[in-house]
Amino acid sequence: MAFPLPRGITPPEIAFLAEMEMVTIIPRQRLEGLELLGGPVEPLRPPRRASLPLWLALLLKRQRRANILPPPWLHPEPLSFILDVETQHPDYKSAFSPPPLLPGQSHPNARGQTPAARPRYTPDGQRYFAAPPFLPQNTAQTDASEVEPPSLPYHWLEVGNMLLDAASDDLVEPDQIRILLKDLREARNAKLRAGIDALDAASTGGGGVALTGVGAMELGEGRGFMVGVVDNLRKIGASKEQARREQMAEEMANRGYDNTQDDDDDMEF
């Protein structure tokens, strides 16, 4: 047995990924810049703020060499705002609250042009779009011109829990935050469970189910069950799908190549 773990990353591996998120710290002692395999680390000069990966920030925090500035969303006010959106807002009765925008992604309600994201290239010449955990979604904001409403980043549950464990003295009202995180988790879990019905759409060819706004750990916890449901539904419906496609092939042969569209299973969840 070369590898005992199931397909899809497991919760410990998700926590490992979440430790790559960048956070802002206030160092208490000097440290010269380091060249790590995960990228360069800027030199630490108290009391200048610095951005470090979470694992390194936690390592310094445990040795009392730095304080962690909590991410902008990990405060009681933004969290209760998001909780209100999750539970009260009519648009998000069965969907998750919107996640932070990716660079270059235009806001759904925005008018006018958003600046296009500068494409980066991999050394092999492919286009590269950064995504969590490699976006500064958990660093403290420097500019006060923050117009976007607060939103939960992809690794919210893991980052929140790790900071509550290791750096609760750096957070504002940690007990309140703990309660809000628990409420959010329950509200969102209920949505995920209620959405199981819609999974049928992902089991047909060309179909899919939107889970936009889902958190990494929520996906990791539900992955085994959801993939199992989708794959079993697909196997049950396999002969039906084949019959439908064969009928479609016949129709196409009869009236030439009309563009046949698969019935859209664009179901919000």
Partner 1 sequence: MDIDDILASVDRHDDSPASAALDHQLLTRFWVAERAVSEVLPWPTLLMERMMERVSQQISRIEDLASSSSPTTNLHLSILQTDLARTQYLIRSLLRQRLSKLTKHSMYYLLKIAGANPVDSQPSQHHHNQQQPQDSVPDFPAGILGSNTSPLSNQEASFLHAHQKLLAGHFGASFLSGFPAQLRRLDDNAGGTSMVTGPDGREAVFVRCLADEVVVRVPPGDGIDVEEIGVSMRKGEVWAVRWEGVREAWEGGELELL
Segment near partner 1 (CB under 8 A); pick from 69-77, 83-91, 144-152, 250-258:
250-258
Q: Does 257 bind partner 1 (CB under 8 A)?
A: yes
Q: Does 7 bind partner 1 (CB under 8 A)?
A: yes
Q: What is the DSSP letter of 141?
A: P
Instruction: Tell me the chain's radius of gyration from C-alpha atoms.
Output: 22
The footprint of partner 1 on this chain (CB under 8 A) covers a number of residues equal to: 82
Give kind and range of the element (H or E) at residue 67. Answer: strand 66-69
Segment near partner 1 (CB under 8 A); pick from 140-148, 163-171, 175-183, 247-255:
247-255
We find the least distance from the C-beta atom of residue 36 to partner 1, in angstroms, to be 4
We find the least distance from the C-beta atom of residue 197 to partner 1, in angstroms, to be 13
| Binds partner 1 (CB under 8 A): choice among 140, 164, 179, 227 | 227
Residues 23-82 that bind partner 1 (CB under 8 A): 31, 34-41, 55-56, 59, 63, 65
Q: Report whether 77 contacts 146 (CB < 8 A).
A: no
Q: Report whether 249 contacts 258 (CB < 8 A).
A: no
Residues 166-195 that bind partner 1 (CB under 8 A): none
| Binds partner 1 (CB under 8 A): choice among 47, 90, 125, 256 | 125
Q: What is the DSSP letter of 103?
A: T
Could you tell me which residues come within 8 angstroms of residue 215 by beta carbon, excluding any fewer than 6 positions away? 152, 154, 155, 156, 157, 188
We find the least distance from the C-beta atom of residue 196 to partner 1, in angstroms, to be 11
Q: Report whether 154 contacts 188 (CB < 8 A).
A: no
Q: Does 122 bind partner 1 (CB under 8 A)?
A: yes
Nearer to partner 1, 70 or 133 (CB): 133
| Binds partner 1 (CB under 8 A): choice among 113, 126, 142, 254 | 126
Q: Does 115 bind partner 1 (CB under 8 A)?
A: no
Q: Which residue has the tokens 């759409």?
A: 201
Structure token pair of residue 236:
């049950």
| Residue type at 122 in one-letter notation | T
| Binds partner 1 (CB under 8 A): choice among 64, 124, 145, 147 | 124
Residues 79-98 that bind partner 1 (CB under 8 A): none
Structure token pair of residue 177:
């935050």
End-to-end CA distance of the chain: 38
Nearer to partner 1, 71 or 200 (CB): 200
| Residue type at 36 in one-letter notation | L
Q: Is 94 helix (H, G, I), strand (E, B) or coil?
A: coil
